[in-house]
Amino acid sequence: MTDPDLRLAELWSLDEPPAHDRVFEAAVALKLERRRWLRAGLDAGVLALAAMVVGWAAWPYLAVVMNEVAPIAAVAVGLGLAVWWLDRTLERWVFGGYEDFTRDFASE
């Protein structure tokens, strides 16, 4: 090679990406993901513990109210589920379901 070719090759070699160690990158990614998973688990555990403490502390007050509210809440939940089921059933019978509706717009 001539001298200008060597200089040009040296300049091009500066732009080449560095060599990758795929095993090392996978190990680091796995360690980071385990740390994120552990952190998410700890966060959920702390929130669950706090909810349990609040529930335990509020139970004496809630137990008195639940005797009065529970029958009304049961009827309201039952009616809500019946309306939801009826809406879903009629939607499938009349309109062919939600999936067909979205498929029509996806083809445009």
* pLDDT of residue 98 exceeding 80: no
How many Å apart are CA 59 and CA 65, to the nearest integer?
Answer: 10
Torsion of CA 95, 98, 99, 101, to 10 degrees: 60
Distance (Å, whole) CA 56 – CA 69: 19
Is the pLDDT at 94 greater than 60? The verdict is: yes
Is the overall model pTM greater than 0.85, yes or no? no
In the numeric block, the tokens 């809630």 are attached to: 62
Q: What is the mean pLDDT of residues 2-22?
A: 77
Burial pattern 63-77, b for ≥16 Cβ within 10 A else e, equals eeeeeeeeeeeeeee
pLDDT at residue 79, rounded to an integer: 97
Tens digits of per-residue pLDDT, 74-83?
999 999 999 9
